[in-house]
Amino acid sequence: MAAPRLLLFLPAALIVAGQTPPPFDSRNTDIPHTDTHFSPKAFWRHASHGTLAQWEDRKRFLRAQILAAAGLDPLPPKTPLNPLFVKRIERDGYVIENVLVETLPGYYLGGNLYRPLGRRGRFPGVLLAHGHAQNGRLENTELASPPSFGISMARQGYAVFSYDMVGWNDTKQTIHEFGGPREAIWGFGPLGLQPWNSMRALDFLQSLDDVDPERIAMTGWSGGGTQTFVMTAVDDRVKVAAPVNMVSSVMQGGSPCENAPGLRFDTYNVEIAALAAPRPMILVSSPWDQSRHSHAEIYTPIRGIYYVYGKSHALEAVEVEAQHNYNRESREAVYRFFGKHLLNDTDATKFQERPMVIEKPAEMLALNGRNLPPDAKTYDGLFRFWREMAVAQTRQVHDLAELRRRLKTVLAVEMPGRLLTESAEGGTIIIGRADRRDRVPAKWYPGTGKPLLYVHEGGMAAAGNTTQVREAVAAKRPVLLIDAFQTGSAVAVRDRSARYFLTFNRSDDANRVQDILTSIAFLRRQSKEKIELKGTGKAGVWCLFAAAVSDGGLDLDADLSGFAGKDEDFLRGFYIPGIQRAGGLDAALRLTAALRRN
């Protein structure tokens, strides 16, 4: 059997002859959303050489995209966890402790720590993330029971930390669904806090004397399944993973904790889950929920990635005939898998649930009859801390290449390799990226000397009426005028009504930056001279950020028209989720100042 080949976007250095852009801009016509039926063809194919290196490149790219979408690029500083062990419950063969850990200064995560009682040694640690059940980590029904999981695993010889989603049970300094456009430009939201809480929960497990820090697993169902594969994707300390009833090709998650802006640009949950490879993972699914089609559309393509590593045996899948669940049958499948990979034990009889008594929910709350510590931040205080942290981290970056990478990641743009062109009506041309199916209408005046790329917020017709353009054309300089995305003749219907639209689709302003970079790439095919990039009105900001993330060779003249880099400026005039977290105007000015020096 031939090894699967990954379909990646590999650069070329030419305009493709004999090919033209599509008749419609795919950014207006192809609008993925949470319920799009995705195909695995986006990340695997059959038989090629060198696929492991290609996949590792893709893996690094997607990790950076996930972290940026979560507002975790860079990661916040790790401050003391200051765990508070509030209550201890001893039972036959296990102990439960109610715990608060301080994952950010003044921000507290609640959970239950289940450990063996009467045993010695260092136990494997397990992170347990609950789904959107009514009672969160304290849910105890036929379909889901985190306490049953924790007790059973402690009896089997594990330390399990079952912890809250944001806004659930003890973790109540924010509600679960919080944030708006202002929070989004700072990368502050539930998707960010939850992976960060998972990372700090793992730190907490690794800090325990009786936990083996090299044997850490994670599992969760539904929204907790999303937490599981997202955490596994970005943190290699998770050695074994079991996302339950959530890895899907037909539904990508219904909560803000699963749908931050930018999370799924050009990807979807099956590919994100594949980032676990080559670490052992079991996929638990149901024929009655979003994890259906598990074999052909989920297991098979992910197994292709494991095959590239030579680790096909490390991936397993099981389908449980039940509604959306983490029921006993599903849990026991995970027990067996964890036992095989963490305990080196394949005796299935050891991994069956035995009768147990579940504690009353109130008895398992860390804040039952207690208040949060006095330094606990309010929502406003937490958001203020996040913004101050982001500004401080940007100021500490002296490596301009790193600063450029962060901006480029949140903008989700590229300096394209292969281009397509075609002639259009009225003496215009269309420029597009070969693999992206987009279109940039442009007016091209060939000539000699220093090329001019003039970008006007009103499009190329408005640009053509300016004195600078008329003079450059009269002087027979090379001049390129464009209708950047959704300007001039590029204005078109774009349905933005889907919930979590920006999770899957770039904002209009991000697409405008991309069109400027595409146009720069076109000009570089025509001339080796340094390009003069001019932007006026709102287009001045587009050009500034395009120049900031470009690879140089530009003389920038950007009229910012009073754009000062405040939140209101970005919200009204240049909306890019995560832009302030990545450094905002300050980062762009530092990068373009370096361009001028060079």
Q: What is the pLDDT of residue 3?
A: 31
Give dist(CA 412, CA 551) in Å, integer. 15
> 121: which DSSP letter?
S
Give the domain-ending residue among 371, 390, 409: 390
Residue 146 is assigned to a structural domain of this protein: yes
**36 inside domain:** no
The single-letter DSSP state of residue 36 is: -
Please indicate, yes or no, whether residues 382 and 481 belong to a single structural domain of this protein.
no
Strand stretches in 14-83, DSSP E: 45-46
Determine the Cα–Cα distance for residues 133 and 143; give it in Å rounded to an integer. Answer: 10
CATH number, domain with residue 585: 3.40.50
Letter for the amino acid at 376?
A
Q: Is residue 359 part of a domain?
A: yes
Is residue 143 assigned to a domain? Answer: yes
Residues 386 and 413 in one domain: no
Ramachandran angles phi, psi of 240, nearest 5°: -140, 140
* Residue 465 located in a structural domain: yes
CATH number of the domain residue 177 falls in: 3.40.50.1820
pLDDT tens digits for range 15-66: 555 588 889 999 999 999 999 999 886 565 433 445 899 899 999 999 999 9
Kindly report the number of other CB atoms within 10 A of residue 36's CB atom.
17
Rounded Cα distance, 416 and 514, in Å: 9
Contact by Cβ (8 Å): 532, 450: yes
Structure tokens belonging to residue 154: 């402690």
Quick one: pLDDT at residue 40? Answer: 81
Q: Is 379 found in the same domain as 489?
A: no
Question: Which element (helix H / strand E) includes 61?
Answer: helix 51-69
Q: Which residues of 446-480 are buried (b: 16+ CB within 10 A; e: fewer)?
A: ebeeebbbbbbbebbebbbeeeebeebbeeebbbb
pLDDT of residue 50: 52
- What is the radius of gyration, based on Cα positions, of the chain? 26
Q: pLDDT over 70 for what percent of the chain?
A: 95
Q: How far apart are the first and last CA of the chain?
A: 52
Residue count of the chain: 598
Whether residues 256 and 339 fall in one domain: yes
Q: Specify whether 319 is located in the same domain as 409.
A: no
**Helices and strands in the chain, H and E counts:** 18, 18
Reduced to 3 states (helix: H, G, I; strand: E, B; else coil), residue 514 is helix
Domain membership of residue 330 (yes or no) is: yes
- In this prediction, the residues of the chain whose per-residue pLDDT falls under 50 are 1-14, 45-49
Domain co-membership, 378 together with 527: no
The reply to whether 366 and 413 lie within a common domain is no
Same domain, 411 and 372: no
Peptide bond into 105 cis (omega under 30): no
- Domain enclosing residue 528, as ranges: 397-597
Same domain, 216 and 241: yes
- Reduce the DSSP state of residue 441 to 3 states and report it: strand
Give the C-alpha separation, 394 to 402, whole Å.
10
For residue 473, is it within any domain? Answer: yes
Q: Does one domain contain both 91 and 204?
A: yes
Same domain for 182 and 144: yes
As given in the structure block, the two tokens for residue 532 are: 């003069």
| 330 and 386 together in one domain | yes
Question: 94-104 and 419-423 as β-strands: parallel, antiparallel, unpaired?
Answer: unpaired
Total domains, the chain: 2
Domain membership of residue 48 (yes or no) is no
pLDDT at 7 (0 to 100): 35
